[in-house]
Amino acid sequence: MKVGLVGFPGSGKTTVFNAMTGQDAPVGYGGEVRRAVVAVPDPRVEWLSALYRPKKTTFASIVFCDIPGEHGSEHRGLSTAALQQVRDQEALCLVLRGFDNPALEHAPDPAAELEAFHAECVLADLVFVERWLERARKEAKRGLEVAAFECMRETLESEQPLRVLPESELDRSLLRGYSLVTDAPLLAVLNREEDDLGEARPDELGEALARMGAGGMSLSASLEAEIAMLEPADQQEFLSDMGLAEPALDRFIRAAYQLQDLISFFTVAGPEVRAWTIRAGTDARRAAGKIHSDMERGFIRAEVIPCDVLEEYGSEQAVKSAGRLRVEGRDYVVQDGDVLRVLFNV
């Protein structure tokens, strides 16, 4: 999953980037676009790896991209260059400043930052949609695609993000290849002072997030960045000293998966145990397509063992002997934790 960190200068994007990735990128100024990959921790993958002892174990991963806004420009969050980066992401993590930054005049106002960012995104999409419609009009284009763009224009004109439109109103299969900023899943991170972490999130912020179909969480980025720099053994101790149950990365991943309704399935293929991320409700054939397009095209069936059944019996052989290995067809809806073996023919 590609996650773009966005927000106004000085909100703490780079600090959040460091907190999530354990890097030590310099904070405090615009800086350049940075990327880092982190593994999505999953005890089930570790367990499978211990069972099969493969040469290679591949966790699901997230690529975090720190996208600096532009100092002193009108579009502080989304310069043209930033917008290009933003369009390349699968989900957006908006960092909202909830702490006093001595380098900035303004007191923190995360709800106002959210609204301003939202307005910039709506405008960017509206410009794109209107241009598209203008071209379509010149070419006398008609049909479903035009209807979808008209629906989007109406939504954006009423200052709503596209992500709130249900599939029944907006057929997104018509929009593949266009990347509309307000259709991307949005998770707002309220970056607060350590001492304020216990306080409730401002109501107006919660309401705005709900209205925008966005998720939210709070953290103290500087604290989390410090923790992320420690050795794993020291991290746990530091966390419990601070009264934190887990690092921000773990909370972020859970929130991001929940927001997008994502689940994991696993494959064991000779030398590799591997985790895959799909949307809940994905059928076996399309899930197979995640692994390889040939598997989707030539899908025959899938052998399925839920991870907990495998754990209960202790080995694949024992599962088979007990008659618990399931054979499923293309329409089977893959479940979180399924170990899948795809049989295909091309």
Ligand X SMILES: Nc1nc2c(ncn2[C@@H]2O[C@H](COP(=O)(O)OP(=O)(O)O)[C@@H](O)[C@H]2O)c(=O)[nH]1
Task: Tell which one of 1, 6, 10, 284 touches ligand X (CB under 6 A).
Answer: 10
**CA 152 to the chain's CA centroid:** 23
Q: Which is closer to Mg ion, CB of 14 or CB of 182?
A: 14
Task: Tell which one of 214, 221, 227, 287 touches ligand X (CB under 6 A).
Answer: 221
| Residues 56-85 as x/- pattern, contact with Mg ion by CB under 5 A | ------------x-----------------
Name residue, tokens 């910039």: 120
Is residue 226 near ligand X by the rule CB under 6 A? Answer: no
Piece of the chain touching ligand X by CB under 6 A; list 11-19, 75-83, 294-302, 331-339? 11-19
Task: Tell which one of 1, 6, 12, 249 touches ligand X (CB under 6 A).
Answer: 12
DSSP 236-251: HHHHHHTT-SS-HHHH
Q: How far apart are CA 24 and CA 30, in angstroms?
A: 15
Piece of the chain touching ligand X by CB under 6 A; list 6-14, 149-157, 173-181, 182-190? 6-14
Q: Which is closer to Mg ion, CB of 68 or CB of 161?
A: 68
With CB cut-offs between 5 and 8 Å by kind, which of ligand X, Mg ion, none does residue 108 bind? none
**Residue ranges with strand state E in the chain:** 2-6, 34-39, 56-58, 61-66, 91-98, 186-192, 215-219, 262-269, 272-279, 299-306, 326-328, 338-344
Is residue 11 near ligand X by the rule CB under 6 A? Answer: yes
With CB cut-offs between 5 and 8 Å by kind, which of ligand X, Mg ion, none does residue 218 bind? none
Piece of the chain touching ligand X by CB under 6 A; list 112-120, 157-165, 216-224, 232-240? 216-224
Q: Which is closer to Mg ion, CB of 11 or CB of 49?
A: 11
Give the three-class secondary structure for 221. Answer: helix
DSSP 98-157: ES--TTSSSPP-HHHHHHHHHHHHHHHHHHHHHHHHHHHHHTT--SHHHHHHHHHHHHHH
Phi, psi of 30 (to 5 degrees): -50, -60
Q: How many CB atoms lie within 10 A of CB 177?
A: 5
Question: What residues from 55 to 114 belong to the interface with ligand X (CB under 6 A)?
Answer: 95, 99, 101
Is residue 213 near Mg ion by the rule CB under 5 A? Answer: no
Name residue, tokens 């109406």: 154
Is residue 9 near ligand X by the rule CB under 6 A? Answer: yes
Q: Which is closer to ligand X, CB of 27 or CB of 239?
A: 27
* DSSP 8-state secondary structure symbol assigned to residue 162: G
Q: Which of 126, 182, 180, 181 is nearest to 157 (CA)?
A: 126
Question: Residue 316 has which token pair?
Answer: 């694949």
Is residue 7 near ligand X by the rule CB under 6 A? Answer: yes
Q: Which is closer to ligand X, CB of 23 or CB of 222?
A: 222
Q: Which is closer to ligand X, CB of 8 or CB of 265?
A: 8
Q: Provide the sign of the torsion angle of the four alpha carbons 198, 3, 281, 312, taken in this order.
A: negative
**Residue 231 burial by CB count (10 A; 0-12/13-18/19+): exposed, middle or buried?**
exposed
Q: How far apart are CA 13 and CA 191, in angstroms?
A: 9
| Residues 5-34 as x/- pattern, contact with Mg ion by CB under 5 A | --------xx----------------x---
Piece of the chain touching ligand X by CB under 6 A; list 85-93, 203-211, 218-226, 260-268? 218-226
Instruction: Check if the beta carbon of residue 309 is closer than 8 Å to that of residue 18.
Output: no
Task: Tell which one of 3, 4, 6, 15 touches ligand X (CB under 6 A).
Answer: 15
Task: Tell which one of 191, 218, 260, 264 touches ligand X (CB under 6 A).
Answer: 191
Question: Which residues of this chain interact with Mg ion, rule CB under 5 A?
Answer: 13-14, 31, 68
Question: Which residues of this chain interact with ligand X, rule CB under 6 A?
Answer: 7, 9-15, 27-28, 95, 99, 101, 191, 193, 220-222
